[in-house]
Amino acid sequence: MMNTILDFWAQWLRPSAGLPVVQWSLLLAVAALAGSWCQRALGLPQVLGYAAVGTLAGLAGFNGAVWPLQGIALFLLELSLAVVLFECGGRIPLRWFRHNPMVLVQSLLESALTYFAVYATLRWLELPAQVAGPLALVAIAASPAVLVRVVADTRATGPVTDRATVLATLSTLWALALGSARAEQMNRPSEGLLGAVLPVLMVLGVSIAVAALLALALRLALRWMSPAGENTAVLLLALIAAAAAVAAHLGGSAPLAALLAGMLLKQIYPRPWAWPRQPGSAATLLGMLMFVLVSAVAAQADWDAAVTQLALTLVGVRLLAKAVGVALGKVGSGASWKQAFWVGGALMPMSAVALLLVSQFASAAPDTGAQIARVALPAILLMELLGAMIATVALSRAGESPRPLAPLAPLAPLLRRVPGNETSENAGGDHAA
């Protein structure tokens, strides 16, 4: 019957963008409604609504993105991530590390502890080293994209928010550099020290070169264009898109290049850099697309008891390792024990960066990549949803979010029992009520 109807209408059909465009358009429309409802009715970040819609679409068999990601889907993910990371990089003054170098030490400590803890645990569970290693690299990456969205929706501001944003961005820097190099190494295996170092140098070299050109181009443009102008906003997005395409084509990392470009522009632009308001709508659309794409792809993973156990183990070890790493690295960083605890909670989200790395592994080595994705995709889906909730609670209980969190009120008695948090009950209690 359906074939008869299609044959009947075939003479009136005209070539267009196709059914996938209709599917994605409707999916984004539903995601926008869900995100708005999630924030207005539940008082929770919109990213949870976006991820929930993508999850339901993935579980329903939505085939709008082919795994491993390739073509336009891969470019849109890289572009969305590049826009977010450029903004995050533009908020990190490198001079700050000279006055407070322990922040950099704290980031290296929590990232290294996360890697070795996850790797050792997965090896103990008898996963092969070629699978456990990439999974440990994926676990390093926090999600600045989710955290920035949570911060914007909860209007959080303060030392915990700033420290968490910086540490999430730095963990992404390490994960992208090492993960992209590891994918290149899997694609071109070789013996010796040179074969191990060359992929790292190639990814870093191309990414740094593209980042320098992007930052220089924007610096020259800002000499005679207003930072708040509409044309400047269009130029900014266009150059980030071009840089993302060039970096990926030459063997670098598009998100890493954008992140480094933001950090470089912060250094060479004499006036305080602020993200222009004009790209807001385009950046919001790209961000929404990114969250829906990540959850839709991750939800299509094959679930069984063994995979679920491995994913939950990875998530649990990662959560503990990041919390302990941030706490140990607080010495000399200017943060209290209570602040370090909530910073560790804010680093829990895992989303687009992790999915991009898993996709690179899957493309470089299909057999090994399938084993990596089998464990990583459920963990990514879980930490995009649960991680956003944990980050929201952390910022609220730190007393830096003025927005009410009514759905999370039942968690307040448990959170008050956290060591070092008893004295802050009045400061954070209103936010969790």
Asked whether 115 and 269 are in contact (CB, 8 A), the reply is no
Query: CA-based Rg of the chain, rounded to a whole angstrom?
Result: 22
pLDDT of residue 214: 95
DSSP secondary structure, 265-322, as one string: HHHH-SSPP---STTHHHHHHHHHHHHHHHHHHHTTSPP-HHHHHHHHHHHHHHHHHH
Residue 260, in any domain of the structure: yes
- Tokens coding 13: 């059909």
pTM comes to: 0.86
Residue 36, in any domain of the structure: no
**CA–CA gap between residue 62 and residue 64 (Å, rounded):** 6
Residue 71, in any domain of the structure: no
Other C-beta atoms lying within 10 Å of the C-beta of residue 422: 10
CATH number reported for the structural domain that contains residue 282 in this entry:
1.20.1530.20
Examine residue 349 and say whether the peptide bond preceding it is cis (omega within 30 degrees of 0).
no
Q: Which of 385, 362, 383 is nearest to 374 (CA)?
A: 362
Residue 201, in any domain of the structure: yes
Mean pLDDT by 10 residues, the chain (433 residues): 58 61 88 92 89 92 80 90 91 80 88 96 95 96 93 89 93 94 78 70 92 93 80 88 93 94 86 57 84 92 87 94 87 73 91 94 92 95 92 90 56 46 37 31
Q: Which long-range contacts (CB under 8 A, 24 or more apart) does 343-346 make?
A: 343/160, 343/163, 343/164, 343/167, 343/394, 344/110, 344/394, 345/390, 345/391, 345/393, 345/394, 346/147, 346/160, 346/161, 346/164, 346/168, 346/390, 346/391, 346/394, 346/395
Asked whether 397 and 431 are in contact (CB, 8 A), the reply is yes
Which amino acid makes up residue 305?
A
Asked whether 190 and 181 are in contact (CB, 8 A), the reply is no
**CA–CA gap between residue 280 and residue 233 (Å, rounded):** 9
Residue 41, in any domain of the structure: no
Asked whether 96 and 271 are in contact (CB, 8 A), the reply is no
Asked whether 322 and 387 are in contact (CB, 8 A), the reply is no
Q: Which of 298, 301, 211 is nearest to 263 (CA)?
A: 211
What separation in angstroms does the CA of 219 have from each of 100, 229, 231, 271, 308? 27, 15, 15, 11, 48
Q: Whats the size of the chain, residue-wise?
A: 433
Range of the domain at 220: 83-401
**CA–CA gap between residue 259 and residue 271 (Å, rounded):** 19
Domains identified in the chain, total number: 1
Phi, psi of 417 (to 5 degrees): -85, -5
Asked whether 391 and 349 are in contact (CB, 8 A), the reply is yes
What separation in angstroms does the CA of 366 have from each of 19, 207, 369? 28, 25, 5
Asked whether 140 and 171 are in contact (CB, 8 A), the reply is yes
- Tokens coding 56: 């339901």
**CA–CA gap between residue 153 and residue 402 (Å, rounded):** 10
Residue 11, in any domain of the structure: no
Residue 281, in any domain of the structure: yes
pLDDT of residue 4: 67
Residue 63, in any domain of the structure: no
